[in-house]
Amino acid sequence: MMNQRTIPGTDLSVSLLAFGNFVFGTNWWGDFTDEDGISLQNFAFDQGVNFFDTGAAYGNGRAERLLAETIDYAGRDNLIISTKFGYDFYSDAGEEGGHRERKQDFSPKFLRYDLEQSLKRMRIDCVDLYQAHNLKLPQYQDDLFDTLGQLVDEGKIRYWGVAMGPAIGWREEGYDAFIKHDAATVQTVMNMYEQDPGREFCEIATSRQRGGVIARVPTNSGILDEEFKSADHQFPASDHRKFRDKNWLVYGLQKNDIVRPIAEAQGCSIRQLATKWLASQPGLVSIEPNLLTEADVMEFSAACEDGNCTLPQATLDQIAGLYADDFGLGDEAHPCDWKSSVTESGTIRSGYQSPAGV
């Protein structure tokens, strides 16, 4: 049976494994027909997934329209539905498979318009979790949060959160979302090879006993899936991972060699080990891998089974020691620099800090 977690401070009980259908909004992971996408979503529901996370901008509304079919299949009351707002693809449609950041609008007027369009596309009356899509610190405005509160009062949304991105980082955004604005969730890149700032957000949520962290990119952009066999792997033009630092691939493969015996000792694959590592983090409420096939759904579901989804403390301690020492591979194996809204360069060296007041 799938592990379920209630987001602290809410009445949302979400499956540990979430289905993020961003993959149907771009061709980065291949082309899916509508029928293929709907079938895979329905299959995930049949395996115990009740938390489906989409976004208005994914495929300029396509991903939400596909999710509407699964809502009909599963029944609205059996699902927790999340979508995201803030990209004005109505006036800046972008290009298929493009990597360019598009126009954002977090004004109260656009927020309301965007929400109404999402509700129509998904054929529902209320969104369970409404996430600000790649919101940056200068966009944290009082009128935005006031409007979100009004939408809760009006019954259009139940709770709201923030989705950090597109790249890893944005520490201050996550801190402020929880501490200053009482967000229900923070979604961030978090995985066994990129543990922070997600670990810090988890500590804040746990300390406040309010809110939870949703982990995206839980397999380190495919490294922990063991998708790559060589440091010389060539990425096609449409693959967003071509923008990652080469060290991510070179040392990621070496890290896999180091953790493989740990996974084998737990009787699981490396990506299942990575899933269980995330599930063992206090404050973590759900995990969103790229689910591209029924086999993916089955493998991740097995790692998220109730009573068998966490790791022994000795194993967690072993992984913590490896991570703290960059797996003994030297500074070039250190996680990549983060994006930051508060540094002059716009980046900052990755690394853990204990959240103030926690």
Q: What is the mean pLDDT of each run of 10 residues along the chain (358 residues)?
A: 98 98 79 94 98 94 96 98 92 60 90 98 98 96 98 98 96 97 98 98 97 98 94 83 90 98 98 98 98 97 97 98 98 97 96 86
Domain that holds residue 292: 4-348
pLDDT at 96: 63
Cα angle value 152/2/292 (rounded, 5°): 85
Buried b (16+ CB within 10 A) or exposed e, 183-214: bbbbbbbbbbbbbbbbbbbbbbbbebebbbbb
Tell me whether residue 354 is in a domain.
no
Tell me whether residue 148 is in a domain.
yes
Condensed to tens digits (0 to 9), the pLDDT of residues 14-37 reads 999 999 998 887 766 778 899 999
Tell me whether residue 181 is in a domain.
yes
Distance separating alpha carbons of residues 88 and 90, to the nearest angstrom: 5
Tell me whether residue 247 is in a domain.
yes
Tell me whether residue 356 is in a domain.
no
Q: In angstroms, what CA-CA distances link 171 with 13, 207, 248, 353?
A: 26, 17, 21, 10
pLDDT at 357: 61
Tell me whether residue 259 is in a domain.
yes
Tell me whether residue 340 is in a domain.
yes
Tell me whether residue 358 is in a domain.
no
**249, burial (CB in 10 Å: exposed 0-12, middle 13-18, buried 19+):** buried
pLDDT at 93: 59
pLDDT at 97: 54
**CATH number of the domain where residue 40 is located:** 3.20.20.100
pLDDT at 94: 61
The total number of structural domains in the chain stands at 1
Q: Please give the model's pTM, rounded to 2 decimal places.
A: 0.96
Buried b (16+ CB within 10 A) or exposed e, 294-314: eebbebbbbbbeeeebbbeee
